[in-house]
Chain A
Amino acid sequence: MPSVQQRVLVVSAVVIAAVAGALLFEALLSLGETTPFGHTRYGHAAGWVGLAVTLLVFVYPLRKRISPARRWPRGWFRVHMVAGVVGPLLIFLHSGAHYHALVPILAMLSMVIVVVSGIIGQAVHAFSLRALNDQRRRLQHEGASDGDIDAQLHGMASQEEAFRMWQAIHAPMTLMFLVFTLLHVVGALFFAGIS
């Protein structure tokens, strides 16, 4: 079973490659043009589509809160994960590597924090927690005492506790992301026009 460190490296590499790919694609679409792709009508359309896809992520938490007694919405959780990655990648295509105004920069930063914390939660923390529980069960099966188990698993438990931080960041930062995204959209419509 690969270690948590290996998992972190793989996840980091995939995230960086995905973001770089989106930015490179935007640069390719901007080649030879007087205006970068992100500042064209098609770039703006990519922003709208990215926003629509990103908003799909809220169906999962809303269903959990509206109907807590119902079975856990596994399907909508999958939609939450996919939309939470595809939507932001479309936003990177919309923005390109052109950052000037502070409001969209703040919206982008809060989006990155929400997305990265979610990826850490699902891809790294869940893996670390599962590894910790598997190791604890194995030691209990071998007859180790609770004190011995805690001593042996101290390092893994600390690691899991560190990755648990994603919980304190992911959902609350959504508030900041929504506020700055709204400001960016309203500001863009104010200065560039609605049509």
Chain B
Amino acid sequence: MRYHPLPRTAVPVVALVTLVLVVWIGWGSVRSPASFWAPGDLSRYHVDQAGCTHCHEPFRGPSAARCVSCHSERYFADRATPAVTTWHRELAMQRTACTACHMEHRGALAQITEQARTNPHGEFVFRATGTSSCTACHEFGARVAIRPTPAVTTWHRELAMQRTACTACHMEHRGALAQITEQARTNPHGEFVFRATGTSSCTACHEFGARVAIRPTLRDEPIVRRLYEQGRGAHRPGRIAGCLSCHSGG
């Protein structure tokens, strides 16, 4: 079988079209480089960055040096808890790449931190409350686990020494707002009581036993006395539990 010769215009036409597209890419790389080169949209945390080289060093990728230029020691001191700051400082001293835990270009609403806690209030809670971080209302440990009280710590240490399975009391995969502890007490005041009272934990006002199933008692603390005083004028004096008849669920 013999094929016909290639048309003489074929190669010049393709070459011309290629050249036009390359020029278009060059022009577009100046105007909107992300559209031409990025594997995905930037998250809402970095979308206001001016250019690619804010984070990317040419032929070296997103380097820690570029991250630290914005996420400096001062940045962490202003916005993070001391535990989180220390955690990141140790990783920086070990020269751990920021990209080991933080990933970008996965869309505007994507989480950029590996194993990040899902926000159960929805993303608009920051705008609605005038805050910029979960730590404005919530207390977190070095990894986003909740800080335990000494009694609870001792309780769990004893169970660990007895090699009791964690899943004997804790159950997961039941939804973002579900309790993960068996017989855990539901907060009858609602989640916003912490912001309303300026506290960060149930233990600011209540005394609990080793098992949180035991009925809590009120602590003799300034916050508790203040709330008694505030309740007295507008409502009736007496037990704070009486407030729940109107303020149930926070």
Inter-chain pairs besides A106-B25, A172-B13, A172-B14, 15 sampled, C-beta below 8 Å: A100-B38, A101-B35, A101-B39, A102-B28, A130-B1, A164-B3, A172-B6, A172-B10, A175-B11, A176-B18, A187-B37, A190-B59, A193-B59, A193-B60, A193-B63
Q: List 30 A-B contacts (CB under 8 A).
A: A35-B103, A35-B106, A39-B39, A98-B39, A100-B38, A100-B39, A101-B34, A101-B35, A101-B37, A101-B38, A101-B39, A102-B28, A102-B36, A106-B25, A164-B3, A167-B6, A168-B6, A168-B10, A172-B13, A175-B14, A176-B14, A176-B17, A176-B18, A176-B21, A179-B18, A191-B38, A191-B52, A191-B56, A193-B63, A194-B60
Can you list the 7 inter-chain pairs with the closest CB atoms, starting with the nearest? Answer: A193-B61, A172-B14, A172-B10, A176-B18, A168-B10, A102-B36, A193-B60
CB distance from B207 to the nearest CB of A (A): 41
CA separation between A159 and B40, bound complex, in Å?
A: 43
Could you give, for residues 101-128 of chain B, a 1 whenever the CB lies within 8 Å of some chain A CB and a 0 otherwise?
0010010000000100000000000000
A82 touches B (CB below 8 Å)? no
A171 touches B (CB below 8 Å)? yes
Would you call A102 and B35 a contact (CB within 8 A)? yes
- Given that A164-B3, A191-B56 are contacting pairs, would A175 and B15 also be in contact in the complex, using a CB cutoff of 8 Å? yes
- Given that A34-B103, A172-B14 are contacting pairs, would A103 and B36 also be in contact in the complex, using a CB cutoff of 8 Å? yes
Interface residues of chain B, those whose CB is within 8 Å of chain A, are: 1, 3-4, 6-7, 10-11, 13-15, 17-18, 21-22, 25, 28, 34-41, 52, 56-63, 103, 106, 114
Among the interface residues B4, B35, B59, which one has the most CB atoms of the partner chain A within 10 A?
Answer: B59
CA separation between A39 and B107, bound complex, in Å?
A: 14
On chain A, the number of residues with a Cβ less than 8 Å from chain B's Cβ atoms is 33
CA separation between A26 and B28, bound complex, in Å?
A: 30
Number of A-B residue pairs, CB cutoff 8 Å, is 84
Would you call A167 and B58 a contact (CB within 8 A)? no
CB distance from A4 to the nearest CB of B (A): 15
Could you give, for residues 124-154 of chain A, a 1 whenever the CB lies within 8 Å of some chain B CB and a 0 otherwise?
0010011001000000000000000000000
Chain B contacts for A162, CB-based, 8 A: none
Chain B contacts for A190, CB-based, 8 A: 56, 58-59
Chain A, range 78-106, C-beta contacts under 8 Å to B: 98, 100-103, 106
CB distance from A57 to the nearest CB of B (A): 17
Chain B contacts for A169, CB-based, 8 A: 10
Would you call B38 and A172 a contact (CB within 8 A)? no
Would you call A100 and B56 a contact (CB within 8 A)? no
A62 touches B (CB below 8 Å)? no
Chain B contacts for A185, CB-based, 8 A: none
In chain A, what residue has the closest Cβ to B63?
A193
Would you call B36 and A191 a contact (CB within 8 A)? no
CA separation between A193 and B61, bound complex, in Å?
A: 4
CB distance from A130 to the nearest CB of B (A): 7
Chain A contacts for B40, CB-based, 8 A: 98, 100
A45 touches B (CB below 8 Å)? no
CA separation between A179 and B22, bound complex, in Å?
A: 9
Would you call B4 and A173 a contact (CB within 8 A)? no
CA separation between A183 and B21, bound complex, in Å?
A: 12
Chain A contacts for B17, CB-based, 8 A: 176
Chain A contacts for B36, CB-based, 8 A: 101-103
CA separation between A130 and B1, bound complex, in Å?
A: 8
A13 touches B (CB below 8 Å)? no
A1 touches B (CB below 8 Å)? no
Would you call A183 and B1 a contact (CB within 8 A)? no
CA separation between A189 and B1, bound complex, in Å?
A: 44
CB distance from B45 to the nearest CB of A (A): 16
Among the interface residues B35, B39, B40, B61, which one has the most CB atoms of the partner chain A within 10 A?
Answer: B39
